[in-house]
Amino acid sequence: MDEQALIQSALKGELDAFNRLILAYQDLAFNVAYRMLSDEDLAADAVQNAFISAYRNLKMYRGGSFKAWVMRMVTNGCYDELRRQKRRPTTPLEPISSEDHEEIDSPEWLASADPTPESMIEQAELEHAIQHCLDNLPLDFRTVVVLVDIQGMEYEEVAHVARAPLGTVKSRLARARLKLRDCLQGFQELLPARFRLEGEVRE
Amino acid sequence: MKVTLTQKDWMLISAYLDERLSNAEIGKVESRLKTDLQFKQAFTEIQYARRILRSLPMKRAPRNFTLSPQRIKMPVRRGWFQPALSFVSATAALVLIVVFAGSTLLPMLGVTKSAAPIMALAPEAAMDTTQKLLGESTEAPMIILWNPAQGAGGGNGNEALGSYTSGPGIGGGGVAPTEAPVIPPAPMAAESPTAKTLTQTQSDPSTLILGLPEPGTGGEIINRDFSKSEPSKPALPASTFWIISLAALSLVSGVLALILRRR
């Protein structure tokens, strides 16, 4: 069954049809939320709330890219969460480190193409560096760069998600990349060799 | 080497990397990449940042987010109380501003415009007031009469007014000797027509004046219970009352709305 048929069924109240749409987009939604919130639990909550909200507001869907419509719900949920955090900042009682996570059953481990310990450490360092740089971006820039560069979405879809004109999306993306370049250069020595910028373009 | 390019150049590079340029623009960028070293370096750096971002692995969802019928039940709507309180607070604040402006600014404008005529009319108004007061008081003046032979009110303060005849005369003299003939309070009300008038107007102490009695008549005592007199209350202007009420309403509803919102 194609996407439009599933949407029509879901509009008639068929929860199973909507759940199939969720299964199609949940990884993408979770990834976006995680890159924006830098926290798996918060990202999972944001995604769950976004899907609930999407189901309840399905009548508001006016055609076009369903992926973009769902991603807008997810990014809105992330904005709400970030605003809430800003209003009520919290400090974890214990520092969270990647060593605390279960490695064996982790989806990270399953998703990795190279499961050797060295490459996992390298990957973790790279992720940490990128996430740190993403966190330092203004929220609008972060949304655009996550959707385009990490999720590979089209400019038009991102414009729909961000409710911004195409030119604004291009501008935000260019400025976000510029800021990321500046930030990542601070991590040059810590990054794996294959991710270092070589030779002539180094400052 | 520090790369200094315009915002348009950065956008051009970014769009070129995403293949979002027209053929003409692509040609322009590629020719510039060959000639402009700074442009080339900027391109390489942005390409690098983009490559790193795209190297991030997709995080898989830690669980399924499928919905169950229980989960999609509409939640009980949060009370309308908080929005209502917010609205009341905002409205009260607006009305407060209007009332405050009306009660302070408008009179100020009115005084500055009509100050001269009021001052010119002031003596006439004062005369009118005096005549009015006189007119009221001449209708029924209250006269306290006393016997000049005996005097009244002086001396021993412990003596009751009712027994003033045994007290000292005006000026606070000593107590009269017991052999002196005691003249009881004269029943003036029955004899003097003036006194008759007095008895009718005793209720209004504002018209009280002192006068001399008819020859051969005694004094009259006016007993007044001052303890029962009503305390004078300063009148609160209506505008002040409204300002205070609205300010209190705005403050209380605003604070309650804030508390409810934070929950």
Looking at the structure, do residues A71 and A44 belong to the same domain, yes or no? yes
**Whether A134 contacts A142, CB under 8 Å:** yes
For the segment B168-180, what is each residue's pLDDT rounded down to a tens digit?
444 444 444 444 4
> Which single residue is written with the structure tokens 């990054």?
A191
Contact criterion met (CB below 8 Å) for B12 and B21:
yes
Q: Would the pLDDT of A13 be above 60? A: yes
B58-72 pLDDT, tens digit each:
888 999 999 988 877
Residue B174's pLDDT is what?
45
- Say yes or no: A11 and A75 in one domain: yes
With contact defined as beta carbons under 8 Å apart, do A195 and B49 qualify? no
Using a CB-CB cut-off of 8 Å, the residues of chain A touching B41 are 200-201
Helices A155-162 and A166-185, axial angle in degrees (round to 10):
100
Q: Using 50, 70 and 90 to split pLDDT, how confident is the model at B156?
A: very low
Q: In percent, how much of chain A has pLDDT > 90?
A: 55
A137 and A62 assigned to the same domain: no
Q: What pLDDT sits at residue A37?
A: 93
SS3 B142: strand
Picking from B48, B59, B64, B73 by the largest number of A CB atoms within 10 A of its own CB, the best residue to mutate is: B59
- The reply to whether A78 and A17 lie within a common domain is yes
User: For residues A66 and A88, what is the distance between their CA atoms, to the nearest angstrom?
Assistant: 33
Higher pLDDT, A43 or B141: A43
Q: Are residues A82 and A112 in the same domain?
A: no
In terms of Cα–Cα distance, which of A32, A10, A33, A11 is closest to A21? A10
Same domain, A47 and A114: no
Whether residue A25 is contained in a domain is answered as yes
Are A111 and A174 found together in one domain? yes
Asked if B52 and A195 come within 8 Å (Cβ–Cβ), the reply is: yes
Domain termination site, one of A88, A122, A157: A88
Query: Mind listing the pLDDT tens digit for each residue in B11-51?
Result: 999 999 999 999 999 999 999 999 999 999 999 989 988 98
Q: How confident is the model at residue B120 (pLDDT cuts 50, 70, 90)?
A: very low
A99: in domain: no
**Residue B161: which residues within 8 A CB-CB, separation 6 or more?**
B221, B223
pLDDT of residue A187: 80
Average pLDDT over residues A109-135: 76
Helix A166-185 with B37-54: angle, nearest 10 deg: 90
B237 — pLDDT class (breaks 50, 70, 90)? confident
> How do residues A124-178 score in pLDDT, each as one tens digit?
888 888 899 999 999 999 999 999 999 999 999 999 999 999 999 999 999 999 9
What single DSSP character describes residue A195?
G
B221 vs B52: CA distance, rounded Å:
110
The first and second tokens of residue B212, run together, are: 């001399």
Using CA atoms, how far residue B74 sits from A16, A52, A94, B71, in Å, is 18, 10, 36, 8
Residue A203 lies in a domain: no
Do A1 and A80 sit in the same domain of this protein? yes
* CATH code of residue A30: 1.10.1740.10
Tell me how far apart the alpha carbons of residues B224 and B218 are, in angstroms, rounded to a whole number: 19
Q: Residues B24-59, buried b or exposed e (16+ Cβ, 10 A)?
A: eeeeebeebbeeeeebbbbbbbbbbbbebbeebeeb
Q: Are residues A185 and A111 in the same domain?
A: yes
Residues 173-192 of A with CB under 8 A from B: 173-175, 177-178, 180-181, 184-185, 191
pLDDT digits (tens, 9 = 90+) for B98-113: 888 888 877 777 655 5
Amino acid A202 reads R
User: For B128, what's the count of Cα atoms within 13 Å in the CB-facing half-sphere?
Assistant: 5
| Closest by CA position to B142, among listed B195, B93, B90 | B195
In the structure encoding, which two tokens stand for residue A20, read together? Answer: 């199939």
Q: Between chains, do B18 and A155 touch, taking CB under 8 Å as contact? A: yes
Tell me the average pLDDT of chain A.
83
Contacts of B63 in chain A (CB under 8 A): 44
Q: Is the domain of A81 the same as that of A45?
A: yes
- The type of residue at A132 is H
- CA-nearest residue to A152 within chain B is B54
Domain at A161, CATH number: 1.10.10.10
* Nearest neighbour of B67 by CB, restricted to A51, A152, A185: A51
Residue B240: pLDDT band by 50, 70, 90 thresholds? confident
Give me the pLDDT at residue A45, please. 94
Any idea how long chain A is? 203
Alpha helices, DSSP H only, in B140-224? Answer: 188-191, 193-200
Q: Is the interface score ipTM higher than 0.95? A: no
Residues A78 and A3 placed together within one structural domain of the fold? yes
How many Å lie between the alpha carbon of A116 and the closest alpha carbon of chain B? Answer: 15
Chain B CB contacts of A184 under 8 Å are: 48-49, 52
CA distance B89 to B254: 5
Is the pLDDT assigned to residue B139 strictly greater than 80? no
Contact B61 A195 (CB under 8 A): no
Residue ranges of E strands in chain B: 142-144, 208-210
Q: Which of A88, A115, A130 is the last residue of a domain?
A: A88
Inspect the interface and report whether the beta carbons of A174 and B15 lie closer than 8 Å: yes
Nearest 5°: the CA angle B52, A141, A192 is 15
Alpha carbon B216 to chain centroid distance? 61
Percent share of chain A, pLDDT over 70: 79
- Under DSSP, is residue B148 helix (H, G, I), strand (E, B) or coil? coil
Domain boundary among A88, A123, A145: A88
Domain extent, residue A42, equals 1-88
Is A52 in contact with B20 (Cβ distance < 8 A)?
A: no
Q: How many domains does chain A have?
A: 2
Regarding whether A52 and A135 lie in a shared domain, the answer is no
Alpha helices (H) along A112-165: 117-135, 139-145, 155-162
- Tell if the CB–CB gap between A177 and B50 is shorter than 8 Å: yes
Per-residue pLDDT, averaged over B70-75, amounts to: 74
Establish if B41 touches chain A: CB-CB under 8 angstroms.
Answer: yes
Q: Is B8 on the interface with A (CB under 8 A)?
A: no
